[in-house]
Amino acid sequence: MSPRLRLVDGVRPDEPGVPVPVLLVDPAGTPGERAAAALRRHCVEGVGVLFLMGSDGWARQELRGGVLAVEIVVHPFTLGQVDVDPEDFPERVGDSVLLLRAEAEVDPERFARAAGETALLTAGPEVELADALAGAARKVLLLGPPPAAVLG
């Protein structure tokens, strides 16, 4: 199974009407999913959410037609901080490591209103996205867009 991606309203408590791309990864899944799940150990805690610093990694969003693609990209140093070997991931984005890519069909008009960040949740394949979002003990990990230098 691969990461599950959906465009979801209500993820951001301060802007409940703003859609957010939500990526649900299996912490026992593919190497990319396991590495993405491990990022939760290297983030900053906010009110009800976790943040991955933009200097450590990001989520790149791209809409082509009605298909949204999200890529999770991190610096090799960040992977070392969560005991993941960057050499296990041969695809690069500049000097950074491409952990995983997920795609989903979305409404382009709805995506035009979406937040710039991507939310990441971890749950096994038996857990539905709605249930993962409703989990009171879970904090959503937010990954911002690529730094300007990457977009270049």
Q: How far apart are CA 141 and CA 52, in angstroms?
A: 7
Give residue 36's domain range: 4-151
Number of structural domains (the chain) is 1
Is pLDDT above 80 for 1?
no
How confident is the model at residue 62, as a pLDDT?
95
pTM for this entry: 0.90
Q: 16 or 151, which is more confident?
A: 16
**CB burial class (10 A; 0-12, 13-18, 19+) of residue 140?**
buried
How confident is the model at residue 149, as a pLDDT?
52
Q: How far apart are CA 49 and CA 11, in angstroms?
A: 10
Q: Residue 86, SS3?
A: helix
Tens digits of residue pLDDT in 39-64 = 999 988 887 788 999 999 999 999 99
CB-facing half-sphere around the CA of 2: CA atoms within 13 A: 10
Tens digits of residue pLDDT in 105-151 = 999 999 999 989 999 999 888 888 778 877 644 678 999 999 875 55
Displacement of CA 60 from its chain's centroid (Å): 9
